[in-house]
Amino acid sequence: MNEFMRAAIEEAEQGIAQGHGGPFGAVVVKDGKIIGRGHNRVVANNDPTCHGEISAIRDACSKLNSFDLSGADIYTTGEPCPMCLGAILWANVNKIYFGCTIAENDMIGFRDDVFYKQLSISTEKMKDRIVQIDHNECLALFKKYAAIKNKTMY
């Protein structure tokens, strides 16, 4: 499998092992190197904006001392929600590689699909920048999360 998606999954695994939030990890990659990483910490931080992609973008920007990630790509275990799509655009991240789909977020109890409909979002005009990879490995991660009992949902 893709080495960067493997790193994104490892991030997500760390997050769910510690009860930080959903099974969402992300890494930002530039010139073949990981320059930022993060996982969902909504529950741990009581911060609804602390998604994996947002965390990875903030980490990369902090390391580069720049709000501009032009030339970088992002690898994320789940297809980005509207908030994270917006953050990716503002940060000038180029390509988005994701594992599980918005429909699979719904399957494990998240509302991304509802928000896509509320905002009538279509990624058709961005389709050259959004690529699904390593679906099986990410789906295994999502199923592992779904099996955890008594977790805090958001």
Give the nearest distance from C-beta 6 to its own copies in angstroms: 25
User: Residue 84: what are its φ and ψ, rounded to 5°?
Assistant: -70, -35
Give the nearest distance from C-beta 3 to its own copies in angstroms: 26
Query: In a 3-state reduction of DSSP, which class is residue 104?
Result: helix
Give the residue with the Cβ less far from its own copies, 122 or 150.
122
Kindly tell me the sign of the dihedral angle through the C-alpha atoms of 112, 45, 54, 49.
positive
The residue ranges that bind its own copies (CB under 8 A) are 42-43, 46-49, 54, 57-58, 61-62, 64-69, 81-87, 89-91, 111, 115, 117-126, 154
Q: Active site residue: 3, 10, 11, 53, which one? A: 53
Give the residue with the Cβ less far from its own copies, 1 or 19.
19
Q: Is 79 a catalytic residue?
A: no
Task: Kindly state the greatest CA–CA separation across the chain.
Answer: 41
Give the nearest distance from C-beta 123 to its own copies in angstroms: 7
Give the residue with the Cβ less far from its own copies, 67 or 136.
67
> What value does the CA radius of gyration of the chain take, rounded to a whole number of Å?
14
Torsion-angle region of residue 40: left (phi > 0), alpha (psi -120 to 50) or beta? Answer: beta
Which of the residues are catalytic? 53
